[in-house]
Amino acid sequence: MWYWLLKHIVVGPVLRLLGRPRIEGLHHVPKKGPLIIAANHLAVVDSLYLCLVLRRRVTFIAKQEYFTEGGWRGRVNRFVMNATGQVPVDRTGGSAGSESLAAAVRILESGGVWGIHPEGTRSPDGRVYRGRTGVIRVAMQTGAPVIPVVLSGTDRVNPRDGRFLRPAKVSISFGHPRYFLPAGQQAVRHATDELMADIVSRSGRPYVDCYATTFKQQAA
């Protein structure tokens, strides 16, 4: 109940007013069955805009800190994460990756929609970075189709260093579903690169062939 209340009454109308989202390709999204939504990542509000425009309920795997941090912002984050049924995962341990993928498999096996940003973290400069292979590994294991999604303008609504949301035009483009058969690690890497190439070509943004986290560490 809280998911739909936040989407239609509390948060959604504000996001729609600020971003006036233009949506393309929504007809590519299956109306039922397991589904993976794979989008580029520009801002914290990316996942909220995806939840806003998709008719189906979307579940993301969120880092555990969103459920445990203190202060008023922590309380707001915790309420939103719990109310919308997001899944907390501890990403600090050695088994963090496998736990995240196992959680994703459970979402899909129940017929749900799993939302993921394959870059793993927000782009530091608007470019598209190398994708993590987890999205393809889960797709191969479950048979769920992957819809590549291009977001733009969300980083202007929600600037990285800004304290408040701002009005700016948001665009969201859904691509054709992609299906993947089980294959070896080399094929997984190749399929991940092809998925990111699709996002790059439709976004018109430059591609960086390294992980965003690596780029941030080297720039620090």
Q: Please return the burial class of 76, using the count of CB atoms within 10 Å of its CB with bins 0-12, 13-18 and 19+.
A: exposed
- pLDDT score for 2: 84
**142 inside domain:** yes
pLDDT at residue 95 is higher than 70: no
Q: What is the largest CA-CA distance in the chain?
A: 46
The residues, any chain, with a CB within 8 Å of residue 100's CB and separated by 6 or more, are: 61, 89, 91, 134
Residue numbers of the domain that contains 200: 20-59+112-219
On whether residue 189 sits in a domain, the answer given is yes
Note the pTM of the prediction, 2 decimals: 0.92
* Confidence (pLDDT) at 47: 92
How far from chain centre, in Å, is Cα 87? 13
Total number of domains constituting the chain: 1
**Residue 170, domain member (yes or no):** yes
Report the 10 Å Cβ neighbour count for 91. Answer: 15
Q: Which residues pair with 60 in a beta bridge?
A: 115
93 has a pLDDT exceeding 60: no
Q: What are phi and psi of 68, to 5 degrees?
A: -125, -15
- 178 part of a folded domain: yes
Q: Is residue 66 included in any domain, yes or no?
A: no
Q: Would residue 3 count as lying in a domain? A: no
Spatial distance between the Cα atoms of 8 and 6, rounded to a whole number of angstroms: 6
88 occurs within a structural domain:
no
Q: 144-190 pLDDT, tens per residue?
A: 999 999 999 999 999 988 888 999 999 999 999 999 999 999 999 99
- Rounded to an integer, the average pLDDT of 95-105 is 81
pLDDT interval class at 201 (50, 70, 90): very high
Residue 96 covered by a domain: no
